[in-house]
């Protein structure tokens, strides 16, 4: 009998691929989540019972520390059902929040989570990640972009498309924040999650967006599995270290500020 671990890591995706030869990888993840929602009625990351890992205001707190104000325009790239986006929607002026994800199911759950009153008052843009919708989001010239608990879901074959989608939304003044599990080398942590090293992350940005600056920030110290929860702060503008745990590095690889 095939063990559950072996099935989830090595067989499940390829069975799905045989049945869905034309679908992109991200719909595999969406199908796995939607299957759990149908079977159990909830999922830890998506839906009405989804809970923030740390705090529901984590994205809002982060972007406000970096200068976001209610008049700014914000893109939540991989917004899920808005477990972190809701606080940002509440804070921003109407029409300034754009949430994007791979399936309309997640977005509909997010709209339900906001409630009809907030949805009508704040008028968020909720859109499936697709070329036309990406172009519309870029045209709104976002001041801030965040992608939280998404980068870890990206396999090697989809890395360029994921980062390219985010970087393509940026203007010269946009600030972008990408959360990721950091390890010394990239590794597969479970059947649906991968880590990055800072060097690997920086190399991707260097290749896709020459001239971009990246600042790595520790969120949670290294755990017993050797994973440090981190995020990267990206901007074409100069970045400045604001805390001892930060390490600012130009995309050229030259350190502009070293963490102490």
pLDDT in tens, 116-148: 999 999 999 999 999 999 999 999 999 999 999
Q: Tell me the pLDDT tens digit for each residue of 35-74.
A: 877 777 766 667 666 666 788 899 999 999 999 999 999 9
pLDDT given for residue 44 in this prediction:
64
Q: Tell me the pLDDT tens digit for each residue of 242-256.
A: 543 343 343 433 333
- Same domain, residue pair 29 and 114: no
pLDDT given for residue 56 in this prediction:
85
pTM to 2 decimals?
0.87
Q: Tell me the pLDDT tens digit for each residue of 133-186.
A: 999 999 999 999 999 999 999 999 999 999 999 999 999 999 999 999 999 999
CATH number, domain at 120?
Answer: 3.40.50.150
Number of domains, the chain = 2
pLDDT given for residue 243 in this prediction:
43
- Same domain, residue pair 32 and 62: no
To the nearest whole number, what is the mean pLDDT of the chain? 86
- Same domain, residue pair 64 and 131: yes
Q: Element (H or E) spanning 34, and its range?
A: helix 25-40
C-alpha span between 241 and 137 (Å, rounded): 29
- Same domain, residue pair 29 and 147: no
- Same domain, residue pair 1 and 117: no
200-226: average pLDDT: 94
Q: Reduced to 3 states, what is the DSSP secondary structure of residue 98?
A: strand
Instruction: Specify whether the backbone of 11 is left (phi greater than 0), alpha (psi in -120 to 50) or beta.
Output: alpha
- Same domain, residue pair 77 and 193: yes
pLDDT given for residue 8 in this prediction:
77
pLDDT given for residue 238 in this prediction:
83
Greatest distance between any 2 Cα atoms in the chain: 58
- Same domain, residue pair 29 and 51: no
- Residue 62 lies in domain: 47-257
Q: Element (H or E) spanning 13, and its range?
A: helix 12-19
- Same domain, residue pair 229 and 117: yes
């Amino acid at each position: 009998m095939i063990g559950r671990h072996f099935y989830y890591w090595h067989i499940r995706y390829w069975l799905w691929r045989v049945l869905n030869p034309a679908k992109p990888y991200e719909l595999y993840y969406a199908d796995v989540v939607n299957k759990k929602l149908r079977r159990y009625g909830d999922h830890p990351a998506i839906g009405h019972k989804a809970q923030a890992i740390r705090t529901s205001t984590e994205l809002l707190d982060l972007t406000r520390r970096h200068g976001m104000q209610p008049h700014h325009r914000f893109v939540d790239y991989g917004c899920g059902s808005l477990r972190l986006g809701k606080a940002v929607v509440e804070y921003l002026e109407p029409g300034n929040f754009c949430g994007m994800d791979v399936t309309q199911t997640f977005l509909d759950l997010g709209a339900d989570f906001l409630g009809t009153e907030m949805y009508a008052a704040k008028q968020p843009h909720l859109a499936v990640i697709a070329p036309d919708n990406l172009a519309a989001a870029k045209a709104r010239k976002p001041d801030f972009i965040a992608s939280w608990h998404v980068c870890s879901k990206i396999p090697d074959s989809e890395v360029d498309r994921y980062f390219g989608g985010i970087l393509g939304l940026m203007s010269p003044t946009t600030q972008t924040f990408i959360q990721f599990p950091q390890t010394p080398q990239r590794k597969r942590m479970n059947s649906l999650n991968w880590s990055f090293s800072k060097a690997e992350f920086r190399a991707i940005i260097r290749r896709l967006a020459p001239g971009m600056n990246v600042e790595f920030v520790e969120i949670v110290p290294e755990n017993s599995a050797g994973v440090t929860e981190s995020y990267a702060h990206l901007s074409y503008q100069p970045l400045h270290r604001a805390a001892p745990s930060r390490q600012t590095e130009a995309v050229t690889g030259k350190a502009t500020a070293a963490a102490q």
